[in-house]
Amino acid sequence: MMRQRDETPHDEHETSGSTTALLLRYARARAGDEGVAHIIEESGVDHTAAELENAQSWFTYETRTALLEAMVTVLDDPQAALRAGESAIVYGVEHARLLMMRAFTSPRPVYQLMPDVIHDISTVTAVEVVSTTRTSATIRVRTTGNHEPHRLDCALTRGYVSAIPVVFGLPPATIVHDECQCDGFAACTYTIVWEKRRRRWRLRRPASSLPAALELAALRGQLRDLQQSASSLVASDDVDTVLDRIVDQASSVVSATAFVLVVDTDEAPIVRTRGAAGATMDALVTAVSRGDQLSTSCAVVEVASAHGRRGRLAAARPENVPMSDDERALLQSYARHAAAALDLVGAVETSRRETTRATALLTLARDLTAAHDADAVAEVAATALPRITGARSASLMLWSSAEGYMRAAAASGHTPTERAMLLAREIRADGTPELVELLTRRQPMHIESARASLSLATLIGTIGATSVTIVPLVAGEELMGVVTVGWPRPLSPRQRDEALDRVAGVADQVATALQNARLLATVEHQALHDALTGLPNRTLFNRLLDRELSSGTNDLGTAVLFCDLDRFKHVNDRWGHGAGDEVLRQVTHILRSEISASDTLARLGGDEFGIILRATDDVRTALAVAHRLVARLDQPLRIDGRELRITSSIGISLHSGPEGRADRMLGAADNAMYVAKQRGRDQVAVAGETEPLLPVPSLEGELRRAIEGHQLRLHFQPVVDVSATDHCTVLGAEALLRWEHPRLGLLAPGSFLPLAEDCGLITELDLWALNAACLALAGWEEASPPCPRGPLRVAVNLAADTLVDPRLVPAVRAALTRNGLAPERLHLELVESRSLTDVSGVIERLAELRQMGVRISLDDFGTGFSTLAWLQTLPVDQIKIDRSFVMALEEGGSIALVRGVLALAHELNIEVVAEGVEEPHQLSMLRDAGCRMAQGYLLGRPMPTFVGNVAPIGLPGPDSPAVET
């Protein structure tokens, strides 16, 4: 049978100590310690302030109401009870419970859990949730048992429930209280209304810091609670007291409605519980004892140490409130404290005669609780170990996995020379077999210098020892270091075993303290640094800038550079946030490399960076640095196998002398940066030297609206078969994009396509042109006579980004299907000089298109690089000789090159089209060279509609060839 202590609430278990603590803390904030003492005296309760402020204690309902009445009287404030409830977020909510609330996205789930929340602080108050919406809730609160409802208790509850939205950065809720139990109603009915969380559209508008500050304070408080709980656990040498404290104080680590501790013994397991009673608790105890798998709303951790498993500790919540991984980790850390406490109590019980040693262990636990960083923990452990073990000396060494060595962080019991030599020594795995074994097995070991490896034996002799006991410091799966104790003489087997046991008992506490110290350091670092780049964040930047300004003199000045990446949003939109993150990391590296080590670089948020230039009162120096950064960032970045170009705009502000303020300097630099952007981006502006610019229409914004506004047009230039000498046959046309701008008129592609590529709109334009060209092609058959050379075809130009865009192939397939076109009638042209940066992606996409039957053309052939290699690599059906070669045909070299291209294309079975034919003699020379297809002004200008029977312009005499379709 299990020995289970009855935790059924009695009269003294009616009001939680967290409620009385709230009242006294609020009163102390209003009237100080003297006011608190006066309230306790006025109330007539038989408890001290310390007892009433112990959140683990319980009191009667009458104690609560007496304190409320006394507080109203002493503070001379009829609204004191209500205001005390409203201050609960600051004075009364346990850190674990506050973090649980913050895990939700809105107040609604918290109000849904109100029955459990109130039950944890008052067993004579029943809560019923009538209804909840996204911004409101209705609850009924009733005082149960033989107790009369009290208006001040009602006011306290109203204040408490109104404060919950504050946790989420919202104003306090509005409470409508139309029915009160004090007025004869069956219960108090509260209608609670809170504001809806609003989306923040302005990126740089500072968000409320209250919820984040509450959360950070709660995290730190939770760690302090964990450390204080650990100290409290080892403050008693009575097993029953320690077991009770383990379950009682678990709520300071994790917020839950029930806790179960099951400790294994040689006889029946010992069970301690807190919270829920009756069948629910019985079922939980049974499940934990059997090791059953519980739901995600429960956390079960092993109470274990290096000495072995002690049992299990479980925390349970309602089914709709899951336990997070962080909370499980904290509960596991607390369980390690509990295991260490049980180990310690067991040792004390079996060796009460060793009073000095037991005192040293308790002192160690208290000192470890007070140690807030790794160096302090190491110093405490190294100082305490000789007193605990009876050794001459001790040390704590930390393991650096990155560097691959152990190094002493603290040492005691050595001469100054020995200590200096030990602290300066690095013990590496290569050459130290004992360290390799320790890293592999992670088990305590005892080493005699006579049997040690040469390097370790030398170190042992250097510190004046003969025998050394080494115990690893392990937290979870991480080896953090070792603790060592040394003796100047060999030890007997019994002495070695005792030393190993004693050091191992301490090592668990030290490992947990080290882990907590690192966790606290991590929390503080994360609060002040950017997770992606590791740079200081805006908060730390302002703090460092204020510190720099406060130390300034009239001779030395400070400059702030506000750097913003231009059009960074397009990187995320086009290539994904992974590419955007890599851009930010590379930009961080570039900025670091361009400023001095004494300057400060921070990521202020998003794509904004801040730089503090110290001892810089000359604007020319700041301008030189800023221009250097702008030029450096203007270079292409290599991201995921492709080159991305991103520019920056920088604003500068300067200050000399005292009375500088960080927020003003940063704001001035921010404003100057916007001036640089208005000037066209990729520039530098100095605060105070610029005038605000009037807003001008944004061509980029107009281009974004051009597609939806039906402002895009296609013009068609015919592609003609010129192989016959007596006539020409129109084979199809090339679709050329135009923009019918409402202010600027009809714009040619050169006026807006570079902007489209720069701002990420080129693919949208290409896909529009693809659909429009296929639609036009479907109507040409009806408007033109049949072509003797087969169905007419249309060619569409595609940019490099479009070629690798996943939407291209589906768009081609849809356009052909929708217009009933054979795939071979669509020619897709890529430009050799620009489109071939991502070769593997282009080849894959072109092969997929050719499998569909679409024909591929290489435009502007001969103007790019590695031309012949592209013909061998790319799946090409046609090449188009660039107009520059056609214009220079009269030069001997050009016609020779054209003949060579034609011969090569003939061998590869690739069509050739000559572009830019504008003169009759050019057409004649191309015919003589064997070119069969051409296009140009001579054969037809780009027109809004396809014309298949236009005669060539400028052919002389009656022998001019006729053009037919």
Query: For 809-855, what is each residue's pLDDT tens digit?
Result: 999 999 999 999 999 999 999 865 444 555 667 788 888 999 999 99
Phi, psi torsion values for 440, nearest 5 degrees: -80, -50
Classify residue 237: in a domain, yes or no: yes
Classify residue 696: in a domain, yes or no: no
Q: Which two tokens stand for residue 44?
A: 């007539």
Bridge partners (DSSP) listed for residue 651: 562, 685
* Residues 260, 285 contacting (CB under 8 angstroms): yes
The whole-number average pLDDT for the span 502-512 is 87
> Would you state the pLDDT for residue 233?
63
Judged on CB neighbours under 10 Å (0-12, 13-18, 19+), 363 is middle
The whole-number average pLDDT for the span 488-499 is 85
Same domain, 304 and 385: no
Going from the C-alpha of 736 to that of each of 15, 713, 714, the distances in angstroms are: 81, 8, 5
> Would you state the pLDDT for residue 439?
86
The whole-number average pLDDT for the span 762-785 is 87
Q: Which two tokens stand for residue 385?
A: 């170990």
Name which residue leads in pLDDT, 92 or 720.
Answer: 720
* Residues 144, 181 contacting (CB under 8 angstroms): no
Q: How many CA atoms lie within 13 A of 174 on its CB side?
A: 7
Classify residue 35: in a domain, yes or no: yes
For the chain, how many structural domains are there in total? 5
The whole-number average pLDDT for the span 560-571 is 89
Q: Encode pLDDT of 583-636 as tens digits.
A: 999 999 999 999 998 899 999 999 999 999 988 867 888 999 999 999 898 888
- Give yes or no for residue 794 having a pLDDT over 90: yes
Q: Which two tokens stand for residue 843?
A: 């080849």
> Would you state the pLDDT for residue 835?
45
Phi, psi torsion values for 451, nearest 5 degrees: -110, 5
- Between 57-61, 231-235, 322-326, 942-946, the lowest mean confidence (pLDDT) is in 231-235
- Give yes or no for residue 275 having a pLDDT over 50: yes
What CATH number corresponds to the domain at position 754? 3.20.20.450
Classify residue 529: in a domain, yes or no: no
- Of 141, 172, 194, which residue sits at a domain end? 194
Maximum average pLDDT range among 121-135, 304-318, 562-576: 121-135
> Would you state the pLDDT for residue 72?
93
> Would you state the pLDDT for residue 694?
39
**How would you classify the pairing of strands 174-179 and 188-193?**
antiparallel
Same domain, 759 and 621: no
* Cα 189-190-195 angle, rounded to 5 deg: 160
* Residues 96, 222 contacting (CB under 8 angstroms): yes
- Between 110-114, 131-135, 891-895, the lowest mean confidence (pLDDT) is in 891-895
Q: How many CA atoms lie within 13 A of 833 on its CB side?
A: 9
Among candidate residues 52, 41, 66, the one with its CA nearest the CA of residue 19:
52
Bridge partners (DSSP) listed for residue 796: 735, 828
* Residues 538, 586 contacting (CB under 8 angstroms): no
3-state secondary structure of 865: coil
- Give yes or no for residue 8 having a pLDDT over 90: no
Question: What residue has token string 């302030």?
Answer: 49
Contacts (Cβ under 8 Å, ≥6 apart) of 102: 167, 168, 211, 214, 215, 218
Same domain, 163 and 287: no
Going from the C-alpha of 359 to that of each of 235, 355, 504, 693, the distances in angstroms are: 10, 6, 17, 74
> Would you state the pLDDT for residue 266?
53
- Give yes or no for residue 577 having a pLDDT over 70: yes
Going from the C-alpha of 612 to that of each of 592, 653, 666, the distances in angstroms are: 12, 10, 10
Classify residue 628: in a domain, yes or no: yes
Name which residue leads in pLDDT, 473 or 842.
Answer: 473
What CATH number corresponds to the domain at position 333? 3.30.450.40
Classify residue 952: in a domain, yes or no: no
> Would you state the pLDDT for residue 216?
47
Of the pLDDT bands very low, low, confident and very high (cuts 50, 70, 90), residue 218 is: very low
3-state secondary structure of 646: coil
Going from the C-alpha of 331 to that of each of 229, 253, 477, 505, 663, the distances in angstroms are: 12, 7, 16, 20, 41
Question: What residue has token string 């609206």?
Answer: 705
Same domain, 515 and 545: no
The alpha-helical segments, DSSP class H, found in 529-661 are 538-550, 568-575, 577-594, 619-633
What CATH number corresponds to the domain at position 561? 3.30.70.270
The whole-number average pLDDT for the span 743-751 is 81
> Would you state the pLDDT for residue 959?
41
- Give yes or no for residue 190 having a pLDDT over 90: yes
Q: Which two tokens stand for residue 505?
A: 């008992």
DSSP state of 198: P
Among candidate residues 101, 106, 84, the one with its CA nearest the CA of residue 27:
84
Q: Encode pLDDT of 361-415 as tens digits.
A: 778 888 888 887 888 999 999 998 898 888 899 999 998 888 888 888 999 998 9
R_g (Cα) of the chain, nearest Å: 40
> Would you state the pLDDT for residue 776?
93
> Would you state the pLDDT for residue 207?
41
* Cα 479-485-488 angle, rounded to 5 deg: 150
- Give yes or no for residue 146 having a pLDDT over 80: yes
Same domain, 423 and 492: yes
Name which residue leads in pLDDT, 445 or 948.
Answer: 445
- Give yes or no for residue 112 having a pLDDT over 50: yes
- Give yes or no for residue 489 having a pLDDT over 70: yes
In Å, how far from its chain's centre is CA 541?
A: 19
> Would you state the pLDDT for residue 299?
86
Strands, E, within 225-370: which ranges?
258-263, 270-275, 298-305, 308-316
DSSP state of 937: T
The Cα 781–Cα 74 span in angstroms is 97
The Cα 816–Cα 850 span in angstroms is 14
- Single-letter code of the amino acid located at 835: S
The Cα 562–Cα 64 span in angstroms is 55
Q: Encode pLDDT of 336-357 as tens digits.
A: 878 887 887 776 665 554 566 7
> Would you state the pLDDT for residue 866?
41
Maximum average pLDDT range among 94-98, 390-394, 768-772: 768-772
Classify residue 857: in a domain, yes or no: yes
Contacts (Cβ under 8 Å, ≥6 apart) of 576: none
Classify residue 363: in a domain, yes or no: no
Among candidate residues 262, 339, 641, 356, the one with its CA nearest the CA of residue 512:
339
Of the pLDDT bands very low, low, confident and very high (cuts 50, 70, 90), residue 960 is: very low
- Between 180-189, 428-437, 622-631, 803-812, the lowest mean confidence (pLDDT) is in 428-437
The Cα 780–Cα 948 span in angstroms is 9
Same domain, 759 and 726: yes
pLDDT above 70 as % of the chain: 84
> Would you state the pLDDT for residue 477?
79
> Would you state the pLDDT for residue 742?
87
Of the pLDDT bands very low, low, confident and very high (cuts 50, 70, 90), residue 652 is: very high
- Give yes or no for residue 464 having a pLDDT over 70: yes
* Residues 114, 122 contacting (CB under 8 angstroms): no
The whole-number average pLDDT for the span 860-864 is 68
The Cα 789–Cα 787 span in angstroms is 5
The Cα 889–Cα 926 span in angstroms is 9
Q: Encode pLDDT of 895-922 as tens digits.
A: 888 888 888 888 888 999 999 999 999 9
**How would you classify the pairing of strands 174-179 and 136-143?**
unpaired
Question: What residue has token string 């007193």?
Answer: 387
Q: Which two tokens stand for residue 531?
A: 């997770």
Q: Encode pLDDT of 20-35 as tens digits.
A: 988 998 899 899 999 9
Q: How many CA atoms lie within 13 A of 157 on its CB side?
A: 36
Please give the span between the terminal C-alpha atoms of the chain, in angstroms, as a whole number.
101
Same domain, 817 and 905: yes
> Would you state the pLDDT for residue 894?
79
Same domain, 330 and 403: no
Among candidate residues 21, 177, 141, 155, the one with its CA nearest the CA of residue 80:
155
The Cα 804–Cα 846 span in angstroms is 9
Owning domain of residue 140: 15-194
> Would you state the pLDDT for residue 334?
79
Same domain, 548 and 493: no
What CATH number corresponds to the domain at position 96? 3.90.1520.10
pTM for the complete prediction? 0.38
Same domain, 444 and 381: yes
Same domain, 651 and 726: no
> Would you state the pLDDT for residue 681?
81
- Between 120-124, 458-462, 826-830, the lowest mean confidence (pLDDT) is in 120-124
Q: Encode pLDDT of 713-738 as tens digits.
A: 999 999 999 988 778 889 999 999 99
pLDDT above 90 as % of the chain: 30
- Of 496, 522, 548, which residue sits at a domain end? 522
> Would you state the pLDDT for residue 247?
79
Sign of the alpha-carbon dihedral angle for 658, 664, 666, 670? negative
* Cα 365-370-375 angle, rounded to 5 deg: 95
Name which residue leads in pLDDT, 382 or 325.
Answer: 382
- Of 522, 550, 571, which residue sits at a domain end? 522
> Would you state the pLDDT for residue 222?
44
Among candidate residues 464, 397, 477, 402, the one with its CA nearest the CA of residue 434:
397
Same domain, 492 and 576: no
Going from the C-alpha of 821 to that of each of 12, 735, 791, 952, the distances in angstroms are: 87, 16, 10, 29
> Would you state the pLDDT for residue 944?
93
- Give yes or no for residue 141 having a pLDDT over 90: yes
577-594 helix and 568-575 helix, angle to the nearest 10 degrees: 140
The whole-number average pLDDT for the span 149-158 is 92
